[in-house]
Amino acid sequence: MSDELKTASIPSLRRLPAYYRFCKQLAETGRQVVSCPHIARELHLDPTQVRKDLAMTGMVGKPRVGYTIGELLAGIEGYLGWTNTTDAFLAGAGNLGAALMGYPGFADYGLNIVAAFDEDPAKIGTTLHGRPVLAMDRLPDLAERMHVHIGIVTVPASAAQSVADLMVLSGIRAIWNFSPTRLDVPDSIILEHVSLTASLAVLTSRLAESLKRSS
Amino acid sequence: MSDELKTASIPSLRRLPAYYRFCKQLAETGRQVVSCPHIARELHLDPTQVRKDLAMTGMVGKPRVGYTIGELLAGIEGYLGWTNTTDAFLAGAGNLGAALMGYPGFADYGLNIVAAFDEDPAKIGTTLHGRPVLAMDRLPDLAERMHVHIGIVTVPASAAQSVADLMVLSGIRAIWNFSPTRLDVPDSIILEHVSLTASLAVLTSRLAESLKRSS
DNA sequence: TAGATTGTTAATCGATTAACAATC
DNA sequence: TAGATTGTTAATCGATTAACAATC
């Protein structure tokens, strides 16, 4: 069978949600089909690149017509594992943690943050956007019993590594790291780092260059 | 003069903050010099790659010794435009906006969020981590008078484009976009998008693959 | 049919990694 | 000196873009 899944490139994976979002908007207007040139024009990408990205998910289109939007959405959902909502635990009920808990869009992307964990006694026992804030030391037991596979790290840099260690011991399989620190975890753990400083570096270096040129 | 700045690659720019952070930690222990292999071991990178990234900033090292940490930090700061703190306006005083306003690390990276702007009358006039929340329509006038060049977008997707348009009209030169939407701005505007859904796609697709393999 | 789009193979481009002389 | 590290050039790798036959 054609079960040989060619491992997708990271840039391709990162583009899929944009296609998904655009096609969902199209679907709401009643549209049934969409072509790669159409998506590419909208997102300022190369049509061939869009086609390759979609091919990766197993999608097939019709020449002259394009892809059925419904199939395309289902294809991306399936490929990214968004079909069944995935439960996640969040560690660090601070500002950023609260923001992620309150982000309404995650449900559309199969992510369900079921509880937050914190060390602060003042926060423990409260709720955050309807989900409980629990003591950090209850994370291992609950993660195992609830089969939670995703851990979100929104604690300060100083606590990030120890929280990650705790998650690994708890059977967490994937860590989404929002702290400004690099985390050391076993190779078997999936690690995705949202680095605000990396993004800021691109912004400020370009701005510095632009201001220099115009002065 | 050697004023021909070769435009840096985005991956290189994104790595610089990690070097910066590691070297700052080393400096605190009293260390004076650091080598590329040393940095590379710590951050799990290739030593040659680290050397090329540093060369980009104009740094020169001593064979057998390495780089002076002080010079290295200054070099990165200069290259990324972190020497003089840059003022920024933030639009959208919601959960995420509050989180960014409260992030203590930004000061180290030359970013100073001086005010937030929002449409919600209930929020206008309050403060967020010591900085005022102002009415959105005051942004253009203030941006011009205060020479603010960076705008941070933390409004919901539906409002993001109109906020970006307002920023462009206000003379903002660089937009840091945290909304889940692609923004359309003139080519002259520097645009950096922090896409949580792109990051989540990498995480969930890998997790799905990993769970499939182990089942 | 004519022509736009798909699917796929080839060419290009850019970033990473390897190799190695120069240096202290 | 011996040997680790720098600086730089060459080779490799992977992603993007171009080319083009197949299709409806």
- pLDDT digit string (tens) for chain A, length 215 residues: 333 456 789 999 999 999 999 999 999 999 999 999 999 999 999 999 999 999 999 999 999 999 999 999 999 999 999 988 899 999 999 999 999 999 888 988 999 999 999 999 999 999 999 999 999 999 999 999 999 999 999 999 999 999 999 999 999 999 999 999 999 999 999 999 999 999 999 999 999 999 888 87
Q: Which residues touch strand C (CB under 7 A)?
A: A 35-38, 47-48, 51-52, 54-55, 59-67; B 9-12, 45-46, 48-49, 52, 62-65
Q: For chain B, say whether A174 makes contact (Cβ under 8 Å).
A: yes
**Strand C positions within 7 A of protein Cβ atoms:** 3-9, 14-19, 22-24
Over residues B129-151, mean pLDDT: 97
Q: What is the pTM of this model?
A: 0.95
| Strand pairing class (A86-91; A67-68) | unpaired
Q: Mean pLDDT in chain B?
A: 94
pLDDT the model gives residue B4: 45
> How far apart (Å, rounded) are the C-alpha atoms in residues B70 and B89?
31
pLDDT at B177 over 50: yes
Residues from chain B contacting residue A194 (CB–CB below 8 Å): 194, 196, 199
Banded pLDDT at B5 (limits 50, 70, 90): low
Least confident of B10-24, B100-114, B157-171, B176-190: B100-114
Of residues A17, A95, A190, nearest to B201 (C-beta): A17
Residues from chain B contacting residue A84 (CB–CB below 8 Å): none
Are the Cβ atoms of A174 and B210 closer than 8 angstroms?
Answer: yes
> How far apart (Å, rounded) are the C-alpha atoms in residues A17 and B144?
36
pLDDT the model gives residue B6: 62
Burial class (CB in 10 A: 0-12, 13-18, 19+), B24: middle
Are the Cβ atoms of B202 and A10 closer than 8 angstroms?
Answer: yes
Over residues B143-153, mean pLDDT: 97
pLDDT the model gives residue A104: 82
> How far apart (Å, rounded) are the C-alpha atoms in residues A117 and B15?
30
Q: Which residues touch strand D (CB under 7 A)?
A: A 9-12, 45-46, 48-49, 52, 62-65; B 35-38, 47-48, 51-52, 54-55, 59-67
List, in order, residues 6 or more apart from A200 with CB less than 8 Å away. Answer: B17, B106, B109, B111, B176, B192
Residue with tokens 């840059």: B86
Burial A101-111 (b: 16+ CB within 10 A, else e): bbbeebebbbb
Nucleotide nearest to B12 (CA to C1'): C15
> How far apart (Å, rounded) are the C-alpha atoms in residues B213 and B153?
39
Q: For chain B, say whether A8 makes contact (Cβ under 8 Å).
A: yes
3-state SS string over chain B? CCCCCCCCCHHHHHHHHHHHHHHHHHHHCCCCEECHHHHHHHHCCCHHHHHHHHHHCCCCCECCCEEEHHHHHHHHHHHHCCCCCEEEEEECCCHHHHHHHCCHHHHHHCEEEEEEEECCCCCCCCEECCEEEEEHHHHHHHHHHHCCCEEEECCCHHHHHHHHHHHHHCCCCEEEECCCCCCCCCCCCEEEECCHHHHHHHHHHHHHHHHHHCC
Could you tell me the end-to-end alpha-carbon distance of chain A, in angstroms, rounded to an integer?
62
Percent of chain B residues past pLDDT 90, beyond the cut: 89
> How far apart (Å, rounded) are the C-alpha atoms in residues A154 and A135?
15
pLDDT at B193 over 90: yes
Residue B2 phi/psi, 5° resolution? -85, 55
Nucleotide nearest to A64 (CA to C1'): C5
Give the model confidence (pLDDT) of B55-103 as tens digits: 999 999 999 999 999 999 999 999 999 988 899 999 999 999 999 999 8
Q: For chain B, say whether A201 makes contact (Cβ under 8 Å).
A: yes
pLDDT the model gives residue A6: 62
| Strand pairing class (A131-135; A127-128) | antiparallel
Please identify among residues 34-73 of chain B the ones whose CB lies closer than 8 Å to any CB of chain A.
43
